[in-house]
Amino acid sequence: MAKFLRHLFVCTNEREPGDPRGSCTARGSAAVLEALKEKAHAAGLKRIVRVNRAGCLDQCARGVTVVVYPEAVWYGGVTPADVDEIVERHLVHGEPVRRLEIPAKDLTGKEPPPGFGSGGTPEGGTE
Amino acid sequence: MAKFLRHLFVCTNEREPGDPRGSCTARGSAAVLEALKEKAHAAGLKRIVRVNRAGCLDQCARGVTVVVYPEAVWYGGVTPADVDEIVERHLVHGEPVRRLEIPAKDLTGKEPPPGFGSGGTPEGGTE
């Protein structure tokens, strides 16, 4: 067998009702997850592409969040109406759906310090 | 901000007691998840590396499963005793821990048909 060609993670985090941040679940991520699974299988992608639920992906402000690896393409505000396009364009043809991408500057990841990952020691980042 | 340098997903799937496949949760994945989060933060990796729970990663036979993207390195049979080595060697220094890797031939992903992802149409895979 092999690695999956692509691996999608859909945020299905939940928060207490009334939390001002809301959550992907409150915004409908379960329906996005199910539509992605169903349509990826219908497109013949079973075991070529895998779709999984995930804990909080830390992009709450962007609506329902989906990340696609190994490309590390981040989609925000995804609805079930977007799923056909994600499957056909990105999963089948390898072209990310640019209109749904979260701009890199808006993602919450932090650049590593210079030299990191090449034998250096990380500094800071203990906020 | 930026993308995460590395993104780890820990299988926290649960199954009914008595299911012959068992599950990563029954094998102790919650403790692995917590140890990875705690030690990655302690190593200064907050927001450089993210650790998330995930649904079934489909490698049940291998024990507690962790996948690291964007490298697509798959670890099987992970215990809390392995976490220091994963954090120090892989997350900080970028060197996967080979003794924990699931061999590619044992992963459950399926090779795409020839030409797939370059404008072709997938065939088969609807098992």
Q: Which of residues 48-67 of B touch A (CB under 8 A)?
A: 48, 50, 52-58, 67
Q: Residue A62 and residue A102: Cα distance in Å, rounded?
A: 8
Q: Residue B3 and residue A65: Cα distance in Å, rounded?
A: 13
pTM across the whole model: 0.89
**ipTM value of the model?**
0.88
- Mention every residue, 6+ apart, whose C-beta is less than 8 A from residue A73: A67, A90, A96, A101
Q: Which of residues 83-122 of A touch B (CB under 8 A)?
A: 92-94, 104-112, 116-119, 121-122
- pLDDT digit string, tens, across residues A8-31: 999 998 888 888 888 888 888 999
- pLDDT digit string, tens, across residues B54-98: 999 999 888 999 999 999 999 999 999 999 999 999 999 999 999
Mean pLDDT over all residues of chain A? 90
Query: Along the 127 residues of chain A, how does pLDDT read in single tens digits?
Result: 789 999 999 999 888 888 888 888 888 899 999 999 999 999 999 999 999 999 999 998 889 999 999 999 999 999 999 999 999 999 999 999 999 999 999 999 999 988 776 554 444 433 3
Work out whether the CA dihedral A17, A18, A24, A30 comes out positive or negative. Answer: positive
Strands (E) across chain B are located at 6-11, 49-54, 66-69, 73-75
Q: Nearest C-alpha of chain B: how many angstroms from A81?
A: 22
CB atoms within 10 A of CB B25: 16
Q: Residue B81 and residue B75: Cα distance in Å, rounded?
A: 14
Taking the mean position of all CA atoms in its chain, how far away is CA A68? Answer: 5
**DSSP conformation letters of chain A:** -B--SEEEEEE-----TT-TT--TTTTTHHHHHHHHHHHHHHTT-BTTEEEEEES--S-GGGSS-EEEETTTEEE-S--GGGHHHIIIIIIIT----GGGBPPGGGS-B-PPPTTTTTT----S---
